[in-house]
Chain A
């Protein structure tokens, strides 16, 4: 037996096994996170937790109902700000435009995507909170909404481009003008992908904490409307988790589980919907 060949085969087996270990470690981490949260948080998700307001400091009990609703409000504002801009911008990039300006838009969108979320918070603070002289769900929602834009833009453009040119040409041949063609044929054809992109982007910003610290701030009570400081799940988790109160820790776990469950459901749902498209055959 050629020793060199034996050596090469051994290296082959070891390295390939190692790569398997890498993949397994990564997967194991996710299951660990999930398991740990379920174990610690599952016990404390009860009706009181989901419907009550926080109790005074040091007293046990109370819940995070206002944080759950607050997060929903923030996402609503974020969606209203970010989704139309991202969507229509994506339509522009895919269907209209020459080559220079769209390239600029794409690059700035990538840039925006890379902006650290805390910097987005500073931006929303200087542009909304200071002029308005108060913290609000609007400011928080704006920060999140701007973070949404690049993601929605990219997915919209990608899925619109994937629509075969023949569909567009068919619509035009039937006498539609360009806009009719886009709105009644191309967009509906790509809609499933676009919608999942929107859903995923919302799930992504739902977990953001940093931009909310000095925009929506926090609220021990319900916030009415969108013009008041608002509690939110990620901020509550952060505040409770770093404290020393055992009861607050338990509530932080429970809230973490709620948040993670929502995010994962959105992600899984989006991918299941998308996977219904034919997957490319692997070589």
Chain B
């Protein structure tokens, strides 16, 4: 018995429709109203089914069509072709705090947001205590939400959504809400729902979460379904997909004309095998190979790591400055503890000298799985020792003074 069937679904967006409508003027708008604009297919002939109680993960690059699937499943928009069949009540934890009004109190907003998400008033009233307890804002229930901190706001929003009773749950990147303690609470809640038979569709860049939460995964690329299977297999396919993508930013200069270029970059696991899966807080080793066509003085070689969410640089490895001789060479980077948190990353390699960039190679992909426990976005390697214990004479006052400025 399938809870959800997505049958040969295609979704077309008119590009001109969504762009700046004001500049076109009335005649342009009228013309556009009758004429179909340039089309963009966000999804093409995608078919999949989700069984009762199953949790399905959907992964893919930005723009692959993941959020279009969510919008179609939650009926925010309709398909251009194909059909979607839904056999249980569906609820999306997509937009936390939907419909909150700043002037209204937490209690009033709970009713407002809850009803927008599809709850009945009586249902909300019955769950109100539990909603405020879960969000940890019980004592602020009658305070206008404009006085809430952003953390409280988001927690209340999530808590309302988490109390929806639905057979099918759509999850976006909502697990990244609030502080680490609240995130743990959210994950526990979702695992509870999963255990109680809720069907889950999970769309995320957090590959580690997809692996722990999902029974099966789909891989989307440019609106097409290109992979389906066990999460670890599909995640591996996703990582390969990244390195197969055509290189960007070559700007007409072929590699041969460059003074030096990066030929490969691989991470290695502890058995010395190339890998695309790392773990937070564990040792990491990478090897970058390059080829120089002439001597380069004071060169730096970098590996830059990007968040797959927004492509901002999160961290990097750097080697140099050093002098490079013509010919092939290799650099080994290593670290005792990987500081990147769980998620999907891309890596770009650059060779620079004092005059600027010589080579830029983008992007191969890798994923980081949960390793040592961490809070926030980075794992921070640290040492610790005990300065005193209860009962140690004079320890408390004497030791603390050392840290204060003199």
B is bound to A: no
